[in-house]
Structure formats: structure tokens, C-alpha cells
């Protein structure tokens, strides 16, 4: 996949890009608004994409909307809100069969663009705000999702760990907000959150698929021109500062298996070396954490490392028995020390490179993956093809990997364990 996007400004704070690839039979139009993640607005922002993607003023009921999608060869329009580093991203997508495969010759790109724009700019309202019935229904869903998140203890532990690791930063805010904030949502406050999104949040539109997307940019440009865009928010992502002393937090709940999360931080700018480090340390089944801490020492049920690159964070998460928490923490630290001391082989580097190559191969698997790739490139202000990016990660020297490991500092330790007897 050698495509590179042609990104251009089409309205105040709105940018449009398209990628044509004839391998895909379905197209994806993705629209992503971004705002600084904040406890004050996170929950209201979560409800907005749900309210906008189940109907619009021209298809004013759930039934009418769903019937229309069914007639358009099971097309779909959806929306979600999530955390991306220090940002909350409110995303929308229209997924549909390309024109050339439409049995009755429908102009699918034009039709789906119009429906998506209607969802974004012409929602169903009552007395100038969202329907109270719809808002109350979706509020209940949001509250249920927040309350049941604790049931997935692995994800819950990572979410809680981030509050400690990124204390005082936007990234510490839970992406779906709080029950308390959800209960305060009204039709008026939800509508104001929607208008804030439409009028002031920076927006990226990426079209991916086998279509040439003629006329799509012009339709979005006209829609945003009418939306009254103003005072576009300036969003930022910052490296997470390293604490002067490692902070340790223990939380007790009723759990069958304890969770241990270690947050390391690095302000190294050697991205290639940090990627290789993550794979060798805990990114594959050939990594030091998997082979040694999990397999040889049998200290945990799982143990892996993942990067939050723009925040400068390496997160190690593991599931352990209560009596092995301290041993596992020390073993994880020891494995990083081994890398700092150069105790890894060329074979380890080769396995890491193979894993990275496989990661990059998957980018071309779907239009959605390609779209996500370029959204991430835009956030990083580094628009490159997967092939170009892969070239940066191959041939990284052992010395650079050692230097990347030495730049890592243990910032925070979070433990989720059982209640004391």
C-alpha cells in the first residue's frame, strides 16, 4: 500500500483527505472532531455521536433510518467518542458499498455523504433542543456502560492506572466520563455540546475506498460553511512529565486475580529505538516479559508492554496472584535492566522486526485500518505511508535500543487486589 493522502483545508478548522484503493469493495467516510479531554465535558461529548447517528431530520425515526440503511445494501452510519492521548475524539463513519457494485446503479457515495451530513448538521430536535425521550434513553445506556466498565478488571486497572500516571493531565480523564456527570445531562446541555462540537472543534475528514470521492469535499465544505464555524479550539498533546519519585497506588476490590500496572516514562525522541524496545521488552510472545516473567518464572497469567508514544509512556500490565505482586514488579524492572545492560541478542531484534512487519501488513487489510493510520499520522504531524514508517524501524542498532531503555524511568505503580480479610 503506497498511497499518500492529499490533505486540504475546506472550511475553518476542517481538513479533507481521500485515499483511493481499488482493492476495497466498500468505502468509508470518516469524520473526527477533537477537543481537549476534560472532566467537565467528557460525558456530554460521549452522548452526542449516539444521538446524531440513529436518525436525522429527513429520516426522523430509528425505524426510518434503519430501513434506509438496509435498502442501501446494508450500509451503516455510526458514531463514538474515545480518548486519544490528551484529546477526546468524537468520530463518525459512513460505511457502504461502492457505486460500481450497486445493483440498481445508485450513486452510493453521493447518497451516503448526504445522509452523513444530515446527521451532523440537521438532527432531530424538539423546541430547539434534542428530544427528551432520546436523551433519557441514551443517558441510561451511557450510565450502564460506565457502571459495568468495572466488570472488565484488566481494562479497569489500566484506566485507573492512567489516573495516577498522568495525574493532573487531560489524559487522566476517563474517556466516557462519570455517572454523576451523566445524570446531569439534559436535552439542552446535550444540544449545546453538539453545537460546540460542530462550531468550534477542529475536524478531520478522511475518505477511503475504491471511489474517487468526486464532490464529497465540496458537499462537506458547503455544510460547514452554513454551520457557523468560529473560534476553533487549539488542541495540544504533551509529553507526560516524569515524577520526582515513583508513586504507588493500591486499590482493593473483590477480585479473583490481582492486576499490576507499571508506568514507565521516557522523553527520548528516538521513536524507532523505542518501538524496538517495546517489542523486545514486552510486545510479543518472544519478548523478555513473556518468556521470562510469565513462562520461566510463572509469576503471572499475562504480562505485556504497550506504548502511548505521544505521551512518552510505556505501560506494563499483568495479572498476578496476590502473593506474587512484589515479585512480579521486581521481575519486570529486572527485565528492563537486562536490556539496559545489553543482555539481548540479534535474534531478539530480528523477532521484534518480524512483529513490526506483521503489524504494518495489517494496515492494508481494510479501509478502516487505512483511515485510522492516517488519522494517527495527522495527530502526530507526520504524514507518511506505512511503508515509509516501517523503513524507520528496520535496522535500528543495538546501541540505540540500549539508549532507549536507559531513558525509561519507573513513574507509577498501580495495584488492584482483593479486600483484606
CA 138 to chain centre: 22
**pLDDT at 5 exceeding the cut of 90:** no
Q: Tens of pLDDT along 146-166?
A: 999 899 999 999 999 999 999
The H or E element containing residue 346 is helix 346-361
C-alpha cell read off for 68 = 434506509
CB 233 within 8 A of CB 35: yes
As a dihedral over the C-alpha atoms of residue 368, residue 52, residue 232, residue 4, rounded to 10 degrees, the angle is 20
The residue to which cell 532507549 is assigned: 404
Are the C-beta atoms of 267 and 312 separated by less than 8 Å?
A: yes
Domains, in order of start, for the chain: 8-226 (3.30.830.10), 247-417 (3.30.830.10)
Distances from the Cα of 244 to the Cα of 174, 238, 409, angstroms: 25, 18, 10
Q: Which of 208, 206, 209, 212 is nearest to 25 (CA)?
A: 209
- What is the band of 4 on the pLDDT scale with cuts at 50, 70, 90? confident
H helices of 122-270, in order, are 132-148, 153-165, 179-183, 187-200, 216-226
Answer whether residue 3 shows pLDDT above 90. Answer: no
Q: How far apart, in whole angstroms, are the C-alpha atoms of residue 409 and residue 319?
A: 22
Q: At what angle do helices 346-361 and 386-393 cross, to 10 degrees?
A: 170
Tell me the CA distances in angstroms from 274 to 240, 278, 305, 407, one per residue in order: 16, 6, 12, 10
In this prediction the pTM is: 0.94
Task: Work out the average pLDDT over 97-110.
Answer: 94
Instruction: Give the per-residue pLDDT at 419.
Output: 77
Ordered strands of the 76-84 beta sheet: 8-11, 14-20, 203-209, 26-36, 87-97, 76-84
Task: Render pLDDT for 35-67 as a digit per residue (tens, 0 to 9).
Answer: 999 999 999 999 999 999 999 999 999 999 999
Q: What is the structure's pLDDT at 315?
A: 97
Mean pLDDT for 168-182 is 93
- Closest by CA to 186, choosing from 43, 85, 376, 75, is 43
Reported as type and span, the H/E element at residue 204 is: strand 203-209
Cell match 509469576: residue?
Answer: 299
Condensed to tens digits (0 to 9), the pLDDT of residues 273-291 reads 999 999 999 999 999 999 9
Q: What phi and psi values does residue 325 have, to the nearest 5 degrees?
A: -60, -55
Per-residue model confidence (pLDDT) at position 212: 87
Q: Residue 84 pLDDT > 90, yes or no?
A: yes
What is the enclosing helix (H) or strand (E) of 30?
A: strand 26-36
Would you state the pLDDT for residue 301?
A: 96
* Residue 257 grid cell: 486475580
Mean model confidence pLDDT for the chain: 95
pLDDT over 70 (residue 421): no
- Per-residue pLDDT tens digits for 294-353: 999 999 999 999 999 999 999 999 999 999 999 999 999 999 999 999 999 999 999 999
390 has a pLDDT exceeding 60 = yes
**Cα 65–120–218 angle (5° rounding)?**
110
CA angle 360, 363, 364 (to 5 degrees): 115
- Reported as a single tens digit per residue, the pLDDT across 116-151 is 999 999 999 999 999 999 999 999 999 999 999 899
Characterize 277-305 residue by residue with b for buried, 16 or more Cβ atoms within 10 angstroms of its Cβ, and e for exposed: bbbbbbbbebbbbbebbbeeeebbeebbb
Model pLDDT, residue 11: 97
Whole-number Cα distances in Å, 19 to 211, 308, 370: 9, 27, 9
Total Cβ atoms within 10 A of residue 106:
17
Q: Are 81 and 142 in contact (CB under 8 A)?
A: no
DSSP code of residue 395: T
| Whether residue 391 has pLDDT greater than 60 | yes
DSSP state of 105: -
Report the pLDDT averaged over residues 252-269.
96
Among 10-19, 88-97, 144-153, 164-173, the least confident range: 144-153
Q: What is the pLDDT of residue 6?
A: 84
Sorting pLDDT into bands at 50, 70 and 90, what band is 1? low
Q: So what's the pLDDT on residue 62?
A: 94
pLDDT exceeding 70 applies to what percent of the chain? 99
Contacts of 137 (CB under 8 A, 6+ apart): none
- Report whether pLDDT(175) > 90: no
Give the residue from 412, 382, 238 showing the smallest Cα distance to 311.
238
CB 20 within 8 A of CB 49: no
What percentage of the chain exceeds 90 in pLDDT? 94
Amino acid at each position: 500500500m503506497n498511497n499518500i493522502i492529499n490533505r486540504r483545508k475546506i472550511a475553518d478548522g476542517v481538513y479533507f483527505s481521500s485515499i483511493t484503493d481499488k482493492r476495497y469493495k466498500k468505502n468509508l467516510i470518516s469524520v473526527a472532531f477533537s477537543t481537549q479531554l476534560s472532566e467537565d465535558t467528557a460525558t456530554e461529548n460521549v452522548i452526542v455521536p449516539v444521538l446524531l447517528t440513529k436518525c436525522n431530520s429527513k429520516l426522523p425515526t430509528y425505524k426510518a433510518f434503519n430501513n434506509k440503511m438496509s435498502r442501501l445494501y446494508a450500509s451503516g452510519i455510526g458514531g463514538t467518542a474515545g480518548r486519544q492521548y490528551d484529546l477526546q475524539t468524537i468520530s463518525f463513519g459512513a460505511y457502504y458499498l461502492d457505486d460500481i457494485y450497486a445493483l440498481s446503479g445508485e450513486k452510493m457515495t453521493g447518497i451516503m455523504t448526504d445522509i452523513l451530513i444530515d446527521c451532523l448538521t440537521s438532527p432531530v430536535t424538539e423546541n430547539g433542543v434534542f428530544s427528551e425521550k432520546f436523551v433519557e434513553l441514551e443517558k441510561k445506556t451511557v450510565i450502564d456502560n460506565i457502571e459495568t466498565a468495572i466488570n472488565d478488571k484488566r481494562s479497569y486497572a489500566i484506566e485507573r492506572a492512567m489516573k495516577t500516571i498522568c495525574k493532573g493531565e487531560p489524559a487522566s480523564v476517563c474517556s466516557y466520563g462519570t455517572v454523576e456527570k451523566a445524570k446531569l445531562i439534559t436535552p439542552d446541555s446535550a444540544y449545546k455540546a453538539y453545537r460546540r462540537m460542530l462550531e468550534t472543534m477542529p475536524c478531520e475528514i478522511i475518505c477511503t475506498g475504491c471511489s474517487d470521492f468526486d464532490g464529497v469535499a465540496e458537499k462537506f465544505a458547503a455544510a460547514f460553511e452554513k454551520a457557523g464555524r468560529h473560534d476553533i479550539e487549539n488542541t495540544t498533546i504533551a509529553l507526560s512529565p516524569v515524577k520526582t519519585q515513583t508513586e504507588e497506588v493500591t486499590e482493593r476490590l473483590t477480585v479473583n486475580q490481582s492486576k499490576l500496572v507499571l508506568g514507565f516514562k521516557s522523553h527520548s525522541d528516538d521513536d524507532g529505538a523505542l518501538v524496538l524496545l517495546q517489542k523486545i521488552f514486552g510486545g510479543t510472545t518472544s519478548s523478555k516479559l513473556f518468556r521470562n516473567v510469565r513462562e520461566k518464572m510463572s509469576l503471572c497469567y499475562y504480562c505485556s508492554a504497550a506504548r502511548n508514544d505521544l505521551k512518552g509512556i510505556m505501560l506494563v500490565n499483568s495479572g498476578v496472584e496476590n502473593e506474587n505482586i512484589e515479585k512480579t514488579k521486581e521481575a519486570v524492572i529486572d527485565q528492563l535492566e537486562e536490556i539496559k545492560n545489553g543482555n539481548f541478542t540479534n535474534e531478539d531484534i530480528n523477532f521484534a522486526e518480524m512483529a513490526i512487519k506483521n503489524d504494518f501488513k495489517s494496515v492494508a487489510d481494510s479501509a478502516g485500518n487505512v483511515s485510522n493510520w492516517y488519522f494517527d499520522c495527522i495527530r502526530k504531524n507526520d504524514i507518511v505511508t506505512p511503508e515509509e514508517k516501517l523503513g524507520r524501524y528496520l535496522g535500528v542498532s543495538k546501541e540505540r535500543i540500549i539508549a532507549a531503555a536507559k531513558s525509561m524511568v519507573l513513574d507509577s505503580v498501580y495495584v488492584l487486589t482483593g479486600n483484606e480479610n
